Amino acid sequence: MLIITPLLAQNVRILGGSTWSMNGNKVHPGDTIPASANLTAKARSDLVLDCGKDVLRAYSCNSACTITPVAMDKGLPVCRETVSGAAVQRVDPYGWVDPKPSPGGMAASLFSHQPKNAQVLGVRAAGNLSDAVVRQAGDKVLWAPALARVLEGNYCFQIGALPAGSSKPRAFALEWNREGDGGAQLSNLAAGLYTIERGTPGEKGSCQIDDPDAAKAWVLVVGGNDFERIQKEWESYAAGLRQLAEDTGPEVASTVSHAVLAALADSAGK
């Protein structure tokens, strides 16, 4: 059993970790916990905490352990860089991207787009879709970056604006060819952040989602002059995000990837 006792003089927000409870009640990413509260997990678990100043740290236990990830330093809460019984890693891109990225406030951006209590399942991605930045050119969106791991074939895709419920989901059909740009017409689609799921085309334009319980990839739809800047910055994170996925659990990697896309979405037009 994993027990965490943050020694804080203020509330702490959980960024990632869907298997935790406090006083017997399950907690979710986005929840805040009071100072000195115990968080427990009964199996192998990952936890991502916002350590302030855009520093995110992940605490990972492969088996039962007891850790205290937060200490006080000069009257301020700080995340411990090492703890007994768990692997600790700084997982925000500011720790591994050079040159340093410009958008800040990743935690705030993440929760302005992701609804409170949303879970990042992360164990399997829906239809091998990838988090991505995609170009919008008029009524056409070029989805190829999000489909890089998808086998060629006829599919339908459903996208949902973030935060969830801010607009009705939309679906489109596509004959995916790896040599193409994945272009599909979507009139009046607002630029911004979306989830994307893969499905099988049905009758009358319907789309049957292949795995509705799988984790959803996030895509940032960008048009105009913003695209080149945002795409370049997203690509600067690519190697680090791939390494993060290898070094930590999928939930940690998904949390950080989504936080980066949310921050980039908030930087559009600025």
Q: What is the pLDDT of residue 123?
A: 47
Domain boundaries, the chain: 2-90, 126-267
- Of 3-7, 119-123, 213-217, where does the model show the most confidence? 213-217
Question: What pTM does this model have?
Answer: 0.86
One-letter amino acid identity for 209? I
Nearest to 156 by CA among 196, 194, 121: 196
pLDDT at 2 over 50: no
Nearest to 38 by CA among 80, 68, 73, 78: 68
Which band of pLDDT confidence, cut at 50, 70 and 90, is reported for residue 124? very low
Q: What is the pLDDT of residue 176?
A: 96
Q: What is the mean pLDDT of residues 50-71?
A: 77
Q: What is the pLDDT of residue 9?
A: 38
81-122: pLDDT as tens digits: 887 777 889 998 887 777 666 557 888 899 888 755 555 444
Which band of pLDDT confidence, cut at 50, 70 and 90, is reported for residue 5? very low
Per DSSP (E only), the strands in the chain are: 2-4, 12-16, 21-22, 25-26, 32-33, 39-41, 45-50, 56-61, 66-67, 70-73, 76-79, 87-90, 132-137, 140-142, 153-161, 170-176, 183-185, 192-201, 207-209, 217-223
Q: What is the mean pLDDT of residues 25-47?
A: 75
Question: Do residues 109 and 126 make contact, with C-beta atoms less than 8 angstroms apart?
Answer: no
246-266: pLDDT as tens digits: 888 888 888 999 999 999 999
Q: What is the mean pLDDT of residues 65-86?
A: 71
Which band of pLDDT confidence, cut at 50, 70 and 90, is reported for residue 212? confident
The better pLDDT of the pair 35, 209 is held by: 209
Q: What is the mean pLDDT of residues 32-58?
A: 78
For the chain, the average pLDDT equals: 82
Prior bond of 201 cis (ω within 30°) = no
Q: What is the pLDDT of residue 146?
A: 97
